[in-house]
Amino acid sequence: MGKIEWAMWANEQALASGLILLAGGIVGVAGQFRGWEFAAYAVAAGVFVCLLEYPRSKRAKGTSVERSGQYCFTVCVKAFGPLTRNYYVRAFLHAAICVPGGFMLATVLGCVCLGIASLIYLAAAIRGEHWEPILPRKDVRKPVAESIKNPPQNPPPRPPPETRRKQAKDLEGAAYDNPSSVTDD
Amino acid sequence: MFHIYMESSHMFVYNLALSWARAPAACLNFNCMLILLPVCRNLLSFLRGSIQFCSRTAARQLDRNLTFHKLVAYMIAFHTAVHIIAHLFNFEFFMDAQLNRNSSFLPFVLSEIGTDDNASFLNPIRSNETNPTIVMFTTIAGVTGVVITLALILIITSSMEVIRRSYFEVFWYTHHLFIIFFIGLVFHGYGRIVRGQTAGSQQTNKPHLCADRFEDWGKNESDCAVPEFAGNPPGTWKWVLGPMILYVCERLVRIYRSHQKVVITKVVMHPSKTLELQMRKKGFHMEVGQYVFIQCPSVSRHEWHPFTLTSAPEEDYFSAHIRIVGDWTQALYEACGGDKTETQEAWKLPKYETGRMGDGPFGTASEDVFRYEVVMLVGAGIGVTPFASILKSVWYKRIQNNQEVFTKKIYFYWLCPETEAFEWFADLLQSLERQMAEKDVANFLSYNIYLTRWKETEAAHFRVHHEAENDPITGLKQKTLYGKPNWDNEFTNIASKHPGTKVGVFLCGPPQLGKSLEKQCLSHTEGDVKFIFNKENF
């Protein structure tokens, strides 16, 4: 199927699952359904999954498209180091999170969707993918040429005043050989 | 819809959750009927051809088929969400009715009906020893509902733009879950889980009279018998059967067309990783600017990729210029012997005589070009390909055959970020320029090439050769311009040179450019000059 990075699809699926889990949880709590404790859990779990999955990973090949405003989330997720970088951890985390959702009708859909996302992450992990933060590139300024760093210490050599006056009238006569060297030896 | 349900007794006392579920279900029936239609490409091509004789504006709406398909998909997703949430509340109430075993609670009384004969019951939850999740997985409606919702969610997540543009195969194969979606949808109502009072029962137990006197139902003195309920027959199939049949026909047509033999007559390697394939197919007929799907079995049995035709209808072959940018194109390049340096004999090229298939051509907006007296063609980067076909056709008609063409003037704008990759197009422009000069019709085509990105080293070269007769990049007499065009100026110029005409503006390029051109068209359409914007994209 070509060089697909499964993690990209897993990310979309997991984000969608987080939202579905959240929605199911809100309905369960608002409607005061039986088992609303599971719904309350689903609200918290849904928010957590959304926050974890919002920042997109940098692609191994090709241009990465950021989600709007994802920079702060990237920084937070990056802070957890290997826990968030490794997709095996994510796969098992999602599998674990989704289980309590299966106990109540309102959250069952979120549970199954998150389970599927977990499987796709497992596939991504087996293929050796990992999460890379998308950070703004620091522009490397071209190294400034050497000569610019050393401004001249002395004013440019000028001909004596008589010759300067001559310059205005007679250009040929004004030319003269500079006594001191003008190159940077 | 609500009125009918207010009459049946369970709506009288329960809640509106069932109405909230039935209303989006009706919308879903409608939307699922519509969603298959915009992707029947052959049907649309045919319709486009027929409608064009009545109204070109109507025909142009068919170019937006993908936008419509997406819009209907969003509606399906929204209505599914409302439908599910409503049913969640519904199931809670049905469960409450079973758990609250109190004879002065009407919902409980209603739930007890039909427990003996298991036929005339109302509450689909039949006992108090179950829970909604179990009920969902043991009813046809529940299981089909879960399966089709999952299919829908997977289809949606794999259709996100990021996935679609980078990994087309994932998008394409996952999208075929729609087959499961439609099968599940048709069977969703088969369990007849939604129940209403039977007509016969409504005579013996009139809801508006008997609803409050539920404790007396069936007793001798009251004139309210115990009500009977039956399930409503499934209705979705009536909506979706037609489009499903149309879509099956569409796929059959595609398979049939794809089996017709296509023969490669010539393969040309252009600089900067561009492959030109010249092909012939029996009975093939094309119009300018159309596109075809090409499959190469030796590369991949299931992948079909769209490419704009770059040849003109007047030529005896059809060609496509393919840029090598991904796996499939790279494999195609190698299969054509692109990585070998010596020339290949035609019969040595793999599998072409028997295997290569083409599907198409499909029409898009470019066919309308010759209907306008004055035309502005704007191509950005790879978007220049359909215009190759148009310009070649123009040349054949006007210059070689000396036909009378309705189009009197073409303004061509080509925006590209780099000089490489389109040498083949520059060659085409060069030969057009030469031939027009020979026939003395140099004013027919006015083209402007804009280089939107350049390197510092190149810039110095351009400065030095600014005064040369031919452009240093393209070799054309018309100089390359740098940066982006000032559209305001261009439109104003054209409007002043051609008063009283309809100017067709055709774009093949990025959406942002489309939006700005569209705005320009609207703002410069005044007095008697009309700018009409046509957009093409895949």
Grouping H, G, I as helix, E, B as strand and the rest as coil, residue A132 is coil
B167–A4 CB contact, under 8 Å:
yes
Question: Residue B458's closest CA among B412, B421, B426, B417?
Answer: B417
ipTM: 0.74
User: Per mean pLDDT, which of B244-248, B299-303, B476-480 is the most reliable?
Assistant: B244-248
Q: What rounded mean pLDDT belongs to chain A?
A: 82
Which residue has tokens 């496509």? B320
Segment 8-27 of chain B within 8 Å of chain A by CB: none
CB atoms inside a 10 Å sphere around CB A49: 26
B91–A105 CB contact, under 8 Å:
yes
Percent of chain B with pLDDT over 70: 77
pLDDT of residue B9: 44
b/e per residue, B241-272, with b = 16+ CB within 10 A? Answer: eebbeebeebeebbeebbeeebebeebeebee
pLDDT of residue A133: 86
CB A131 within 8 A of CB A87: yes
Q: How confident is the model at residue A99 (pLDDT cuts 50, 70, 90)?
A: very high
Report domain extents, chain A: 4-57+65-125
From A5's Cα to the closest Cα of chain B, the distance in A is: 8
Q: How confident is the model at residue B404 (pLDDT cuts 50, 70, 90)?
A: low
Residue B270 has pLDDT above 60, yes or no: yes
pLDDT digits (tens, 9 = 90+) for B447-503: 888 877 666 666 666 666 666 656 656 656 566 777 778 888 888 888 888 888 888
Question: Residue A33's closest CA among B17, B479, B463?
Answer: B17
A112–B81 CB contact, under 8 Å:
no
Compute the average pLDDT of residues A19-28. Answer: 94
Residue-wise DSSP of B46-78: HHHHHHTTT-HHHHHHGGGHHHHHHHHHHHHHH
Q: How confident is the model at residue A183 (pLDDT cuts 50, 70, 90)?
A: low
CA dihedral B327, B330, B332, B335 (to 10 degrees): -120
A105–B136 CB contact, under 8 Å:
yes
CB A54 within 8 A of CB A15: yes
From B103's Cα to the closest Cα of chain A, the distance in A is: 22
> What type of residue sits at position B422?
F
Residue A185 has pLDDT above 80, yes or no: no
Lookup: tokens for A121:
């992450």
Q: What does the angle CA B397 – CA B399 – CA B405 come to, to the nearest 5 degrees?
A: 45
pLDDT of residue B357: 35
Compute the average pLDDT of residues A81-95. Answer: 91
Q: How far is CA B7 from CA A130, B3, B14, B218, in A?
A: 59, 7, 12, 20
A12–B146 CB contact, under 8 Å:
no
Q: Which residue has the higher pLDDT, B97 or B90?
A: B90
From B85's Cα to the closest Cα of chain A, the distance in A is: 7
pLDDT digits (tens, 9 = 90+) for A161-172: 766 665 556 666
